[in-house]
Each structure stands twice: as C-alpha cells, then as structure tokens.
Amino acid sequence: MKAKVTGLEGIVAADTEIGYVNGAEGKLVYRGYWAKDLAIRHTFEEAAYLLWYGELPDDSALRSLREQLKAHRILQPELKRLLDAMPKGTPMMNVLMAAVASLAEEDSEWPPKAEQAIRLTAQLPAIIAYRYRKVNGLPWLEPNEDCGHADYYLQLLFGHRPAEAHVRALNAYMILAMEHGLNASTFAARVVSSTESDLYAAVCAAIGAMKGPLHGGAPSGVIKLLEDIGEKERAEPHMRGNLEKGERLMGFGHRIYKTPDPRAEALRDVTAALSGDDPWLGLARHAERTAIRLLAEYKPERKLHTNVEFYAAAVMRAVQMPPQLFTPTFTAARVVGWTAHILEQAQINRIYRPQSVYVGAMPVEG
C-alpha cells in the first residue's frame, strides 16, 4: 500500500489564527487584514506586531517595538568573531543557521517568548549585512540615525542612505514575504517547536528548509528576462520570440494561485507610484503588461497571471540587492511569520507524529 498523499499536500496539520491563503480565490490574509493592504499602507514594524500580537499597534506599542528592535540590532563581539571565522565560501544560508544557533546560548528556555522573536528579527539583517561586507572586504558601518527596518537593512548593506523609492519598495516586499500559511519552512519550524525545543532551533530548521531551491529559490529567471529585454521597446519582440519557441515567461503562473497573486498585485501598486523614480521598476511594469497580453494571445486556456517572483525580482534588482542575498533577504522577512507560528504552536502544543506506510521487504518466515 502506498501513501495516500505524498508530500502531505492538502492535509490539514494545524489550526492557526495567523495567516490564510486561498489560491483558488487569490486571497492572502494576515490576522483579519488583507496582506495587500498592509504592504501598501503600513510599515514592516506594524505588520510584524500584528503577526506576533494579533492586532495592529497603537502609537505607544509601535514606539516600544521600534525601540526594542533598535536595542537588539547591535551585533555582540562573540557573534562577529563567529561570522569572521567561517570560511569565505560558506553559503549565506548556512551562515545564518550557525549564527541563529549561537544566539540560543543564554536564551533557550521553553516556552518561547515574543521578545526572542523581536531579537531575532532585529539581528538577521545585521548578520546578513555584516557577513556580506566582511566577505567582500568592505568596512562595517553602523547607521547612526533612527530609521525603519527596511531602511536600516539597506543602509547596513550599502553604507549610505537609500532612495526613498527603494525603501518603500523593499518595505512592501518584506511585509508580503512575512507569512504564507503552512509552507515547508513554517511547517519545519512548528515541528521542531512541537518537541519543546527552543525558538532558535526551530528557526534554524526553517532556514534549512528555506535554503532548498524548491522553496526559497531566488527569482533569477525573472531578472534575466528583464535584463535581456533591457528597454521598453524590446519587450514585445523579445517575449513574443520566447513564446514562439515554446519557452516559459518567468514570473507568470503559480502552483497555488489560479487567480492573480495578491502579493504581486500589492507590489504592482507600490511600484506604480515609484516607477517614475526608478527606470528599472518602470521597465518591469511595462514588461508585465506586455507579457499578460501575449500570454492571453498564445495560451488563452491557461489563464496565467503575474506571480510574486516577478515583482520580487523587480524590487531586488531596483534596490541593487546582490543575487546571493535574495534568499537571505526573503529569510529576514519570513522570520516574522516563523516566530509567530512558533509562539502559536507553544500555546496549543502537541508533538507532531505523522504515520508512514512501510513499502519495503518483510523478513522471510520459517
């Protein structure tokens, strides 16, 4: 007898109040709010507070959260030494697992606390930026001024104040990357947490799952498509040529969403206001409109829509994010959702113990 559902697809494994994904209807909800609206109208800190605490913060709560994040941004000397000691070729996701594991040294009690989630969320951008600059022979610069999470991350990486258009675009992307139901990495975090292991160990498991290209793979195919197009006048002939050869247009179609991806819609709205400030975002919007028209012409039965990778690629390229940091940046955003699920798991905990179907050989009797 074979397993009835390989990969657990469609199997309900948990009740949650954190996020709701409905691919058939194109819905993505964070605790009663449309994720699209949060990305357009709110900051990273407000959305994170919502996922952790179940409500949007008032002014006092938001100030408190910002102060806590700021207090935890500074990397301790021991952590810097660990980051310095790892071989230069160590993949960034492995670096993150080692760094996160090290943070549990004096903070690994059960049950997990929201303060741990805040600490880890504050630390990840600094860990990524410190390691990136160290490997590339760049000096480490700490921003002096008070700033939001996305702004701070870009300043750490590049050593200067980013354009406001880039801050707004990355802020929207990071909100939309925070949570997406019981995906592979979130499930991994909840499984480890269900054993009453600490929050840092659960996040390490999630990072390990995110490292896999089937889950956290970078949208490099979209960037190549846009770079090959280069300018608006080349969009139609280039993509028409791809379709004539039977090739896919990267960034269109999604396994879950059979209607427009709400995350792509939100990033489209954000970049619409910014496309005049950044030529790359303007090219992406023009290419998307052209692609949708051509796909309706060549593949009318498929009903292909823009997925979040298309605009994620546009945002990453616009802010000049190095390709090797695409998945780590995704991780720096998704850690909010992971930790929200870890906290929820602790409240209703029962260890995960699914069954398997044995299909191997049996001993010969007699």
Give the Cα separation of 331 and 34 in Å (integer). Answer: 21
Give the Cα separation of 128 and 142 in Å (integer). Answer: 13
Give the Cα separation of 209 and 189 in Å (integer). Answer: 9
Question: Active-site residue among 180, 238, 254, 341?
Answer: 254
CB 75 within 8 A of CB 127: yes
Give the Cα separation of 146 and 261 in Å (integer). Answer: 34
- For residue 347, what are its two tokens? 């409240």
Question: Active-site residue among 288, 309, 341, 344?
Answer: 309
Q: Residue 159 class from Cβ within 10 Å (0-12 exposed, 13-18 middle, 19+ buried)?
A: middle
Residues pairing with 306 in the sheet: 252
C-alpha distances in Å from residue 208, one per residue of 1, 78, 129, 131, 219: 31, 23, 19, 18, 19
Give the Cα separation of 108 and 139 in Å (integer). Answer: 32
Mark whether 309 is an active-site residue.
Answer: yes
Mark whether 254 is an active-site residue.
Answer: yes
CB 239 within 8 A of CB 229: yes
Q: Any idea which residues carry the catalytic annotation?
A: 254, 309
